[in-house]
Structure 1
Amino acid sequence: MRPSVGTARSSHRPWRGGPGPPRWTGLARGNPAAQRANPRSMIGVDDRGRLMLVVVDGRQAGYSEGLGIAQTVELMMKRLGAVEAMNLDGGGSSIMATAGTGIVNRPSDATGQRSHGNVIPVKP
């Protein structure tokens, strides 16, 4: 079976950083689901153009509750130095894996790793 290539769409828009508080450019501020702590997958770029991929585990009492969107921006991406960032599809299937060690986080999806998913491959 050949992998398919397509274009990903997202209802989320990026956060643009810089001095002062985060400037929201379309994130669902009034959406209760976005405000709740959940597993998150994020992508960002710092002021030197370096790519940042971040996964936060969640829904696991005593280990990690996850983050809301505001926490994601203010605590994670801004502290990491992102000048632009976007919340990707998160939830229980949020997984980060490397070629050397495989899955490096603790996904909360009760069914385990999903057989079909979206991938952002990074080549050194």
Structure 2
Amino acid sequence: MLPVIGAVVTYLGKDYATSDPAGPRECDEYPFASTYEGAGQHSKEPSAPKDNFSALPIPKAQNKAGGTILALFYDKNRILHGRDPKGKEGDAYLMAIDCHSPAGQSCTRYCSTPTGTST
């Protein structure tokens, strides 16, 4: 079982994907599973923190759409995944997320990968 799914099952139960009357759900995680900051980081680098991610079940269609958009971002920006034969990490990128709090205040979060730093 993937770490993200295991975490959601632990906290929400085995029926998390089918318990919402609005329709089927899937696990969504952040940092993205496709990054070195993601849920799989510990399996690639045992010294990395284990279970260092957030997960939440969201509608299956939204999760699929988000994955498609992320894949297009990687492709359009030629983000390379993995390490070269000498162990050098793939391409890092900076992500700015603009959000608005319920009080109307805006905030920005910056994340980079695969270095593992965020502010």
Q: TM bucket by the smaller chain?
A: under 0.3
Q: Which has the larger radius of gyration?
A: 2
Larger relative contact order, structure 1 or 2 (CA cutoff 8 Å, min sep 6): 1
* Structure-1-length-normalised TM-score: 0.25
